[in-house]
Amino acid sequence: METEKILAELEYKFICDFIRIRKDNNLTQQALADLSGVVREKITKIENGLNSPQLNSLIKVLEPIGYTIKIVPITKED
């Protein structure tokens, strides 16, 4: 159960960061879709936590706004 909680928290944080970055770049979902070549519906599903996108889709969406995916250690809060 603890692993599921950690995964849910990480996914929630990712989604929040994803939305913040899109908005910080003054982009609508459609504008980001147009820039990345990923359909708006997929971006909507990512932002609503309805889809676990493939890695290449995430990279395609993040690259036009200057971001990528990186593997980093999970810091555990005590």
pTM of the model: 0.85
Token pair 């820039």 in the structure block, residue: 35
Alpha helical stretches, state H, the chain = 2-24, 29-36, 40-47, 55-62
Statement: residue 62 has pLDDT above 60: yes
Q: Which of 21, 49, 54, 48 is nearest to 35 (CA)?
A: 21
pLDDT for 44 equals 96
Q: Is 64:32 a contact under the CB 8 Å cutoff?
A: yes
- Mean pLDDT of the 15-26 span: 96
pLDDT for 3 equals 87
Q: How many CB atoms lie within 10 A of CB 13?
A: 10
**Domain covering 2-65, topology:** 434 Repressor (Amino-terminal Domain) (1.10.260)
**Residue 77 binned pLDDT confidence (cut-offs 50, 70, 90):** low
* Domain edges within the chain: 2-65
Instruction: Give the span between the Cα atoms of 5 and 44, in whole angstroms.
Output: 23
